[in-house]
A and B are shown apart, each in its own frame.
Chain A
Amino acid sequence: MTDTATAISLLEQAAITVAVEHRAVPLRDGDWDDPDRYAPPERLVVSWTEPPVRPLYGAFVPPLGPPADETALSARGVVWCPDSTYAYMGFEAVRESPAHPWVVYPVSTE
């Protein structure tokens, strides 16, 4: 794995962790405490472009991408669940330097 691929992988992993942590990608209306309401972590993917279908809920700060390389200090993408049209999570990620970890901020729906 190259350094750029590692950087992208770590950031995508951090973004998906935030999406899971905030239950930001529900698949339907339902009980807040119902774990089946939310996309399972293994189905979540990060996109650096707009999802092909704009789900019902979600927001992002344009422009999205490009994927962060090992020297990038900021990045914007979305976490979404393929085949789901209910919700997605836009995110912005920043870090102080390439030696620092990413801090991922979800873009709130409203």
Chain B
Amino acid sequence: MSLDRRAMLKASALGVGGLAVATALPADVLPAAHAGPPPTPKFGPDIDPYARYEGQTQCIGTEQPGVAAFKQLLLSHYPGSRNLGILRACGVGGTSEHKEGRAFDWGVYASRPNEAAWAQEVLNWLLGTDQYGNRQALARRFGIMYIIWNRRIWKAYNNPNTWQTYTGSNPHTDHIHFSFGWPGARKETSWWQGSASPQTPHQWSAWTPTANGLASAPAAASWDAKRTDLFAISSAGTLVQRWMVSGGGWGPGSSWHDLGAPPGRRLVHSPVVVSRGPGMLDVFAVANDGAVWQKAYNTSTSWQPWYSLGGKATSAPAAASMDSGHVTVVVRGTSNKLHSRTWRRGQGWTGWSTLAPEAVTSAPALVSHSPGHLDLFVRGSARDCVHKSYVNGRWSGWTSRGGVIADGTTISATSMSPGRFDLFVIGTNNRVYRQVYLKGGWYFANKAWENFGGPANGAVSGVGTTSLHSTHLEVFTRSADGRLYQRWYS
């Protein structure tokens, strides 16, 4: 048997019995010399938060850059280790971040002492405490979400100080599985950027059932950092309300507060609500006379009588407040064009004007992320989401945000902080989808929509959203059985 010089040198350098070990293994798995874990750049005390759980929701046949670079780092420093790949076919097996290019399988055998030693060396490197006392420091700097190795699992998002037993169809004794959160996958974490990523450790709740008996899509608003007000239309055609003050649960009691309808009329379509400031709510809804009606609340005067804004609407209204002195209402008219009215403090309401001459195929949604800015969304003729911006007194043209929006559903957008809004639609598979606008650009590349999930039996009539403050967003939707479901980010 011949053994090339390179292999002998590797075996010798490892001190693993040289020829005896080397000859016992196929040439492609010979123990290799390595330079130890990759050198670690100098970092300061600031560190990324632990990666939150972000399970696979799409199927993307592209290796994410942070994962590809991590793969190269390990393979180049452990030349005898194996690349078992990043990508996986979409139609095989269960949920896996491999299908989004967010996972890497590093081929090392637990049964081979030298490879098990490499594995342990890398895990110690990733999960060790740095000089500033940051535990699992490099796993956080790479944005690693979880690791599976040799029948055990480590999770950044749950009990990161412990390894747990893992019982699965694959024991992971021939490779280490690394899954990355999206910041790490996108190379946005401090290993790659030099400074800690700005993401917060907050995360989304599961979809949680909140209330029963909804006849319309919900609408939500918050007038301060602790209160959420929720509105819908009852089966009797009246406006109903629930509210929650943080820590206190939903009121009033177990039922909805009925705010009635304009005299002699029934409300149709879903309502919309805006808050111009603390203690203020303006609810807009369309009645069976086609007019848009306003119901205003102020803590000092309580609910005001219904006020008609007139018009001949064929959709639920949209509304947004750029500041405490403005409210803009947009609705689809009988010719399927969008029309708007604006209220200005000291001037009252303008008349109705045509906002866009193109026909649209859904109710509109409106959001303001900063004073002087409005963003308008509606379903276009191709059933995609189309967008128009209002900046410095002028409306832009329409641009498509892609996607396919389900018939008869409402769109919702809400702003958590200046310069940011989150946009939600319902797809034709009755799932909620999201895009995020952040600091002048869209967060997901290529007009991609994040699958935001939904109740087990589907979201059917639209989404209502509100933000209590810059790190709290609440999303509501109605399921097929009329139950209200809530998901929140905090």
Contact = CB atoms under 8 A, between A and B. Distances in A.
Interface of A: 10, 13-14, 16-18, 20-26, 29-33, 35, 37, 41-42, 44, 54-62, 87, 89-90, 92, 94, 101-110
Contact of A101 (B91, B166, B169, B208): B208
Contacts of A105: 53, 155, 157-158
Contact of B165 (A25, A26, A61): A61
A109 B95 contact: yes
Interface string B86-102: 00001111111111000
B453 interface: yes
A108 B169 contact: no
Interface in B85-136: 90-99, 105
A108 B456 contact: no
Interface residues of B, number: 46
B455 A103 contact: no
Contacts of B155: 105
29 contacts: A10-B208, A13-B456, A14-B206, A17-B453, A17-B455, A20-B453, A21-B431, A23-B95, A24-B95, A29-B91, A29-B92, A30-B91, A32-B99, A44-B456, A57-B94, A58-B94, A59-B169, A59-B170, A61-B167, A62-B167, A87-B93, A87-B94, A90-B168, A92-B158, A101-B206, A105-B158, A107-B166, A109-B94, A109-B96
Nearest to B170: A110
Q: Which of B53, B55, B429 has the most A CB atoms < 10 Å from its CB?
A: B55
A108 B164 contact: no
A71 B269 CA distance: 41
A32 B91 contact: yes
B205 interface: yes
B454 interface: yes
A108 B179 contact: yes
A13 B95 contact: no
B22 to A, nearest CB: 31
Given A60-B167, A101-B206, A106 B55 contact: yes
A24 to B, nearest CB: 5
Contact of B148 (A57, A92, A110): A110
A14 B206 CA distance: 7
Interface string B31-65: 00000000000000000000001011101000000
B96 A41 contact: no
Contacts of B164: 61
A17 B94 contact: no
B342 interface: no
Nearest to A92: B158
B214 to A, nearest CB: 17
Contacts of B23: none
Contact of B429 (A35, A56, A59): A35
User: Taking chain A's interface residues, is the majority helix, strand, or loop, or is none over half, making it mixed?
Assistant: mixed
Contacts of A16: 456
B172 interface: yes
Interface string B185-213: 00000000000000000010111110000
Nearest to B58: A32
Nearest to A88: B94
B74 interface: no
Contacts of B94: 24-26, 57-58, 87, 89, 109
A34 B207 CA distance: 23
A79 to B, nearest CB: 10
Nearest to A19: B456
B309 interface: no
Contact of B453 (A21, A55, A92, A108): A21
Given A87-B94, A108-B95, A17 B456 contact: yes
Contacts of B56: 22
B96 A102 contact: no
A25 B95 CA distance: 8
B168 A107 contact: yes
B420 interface: no
Contacts of B140: none
B457 interface: yes
A74 B105 CA distance: 30
A95 to B, nearest CB: 10
Contacts of A29: 91-92
A6 to B, nearest CB: 11
B180 interface: no
A18 B169 CA distance: 20
A107 B153 contact: yes
A22 B95 contact: yes
B182 interface: no
A90 B207 CA distance: 18
B165 A109 contact: no
B146 interface: yes
Contacts of B170: 59, 109-110
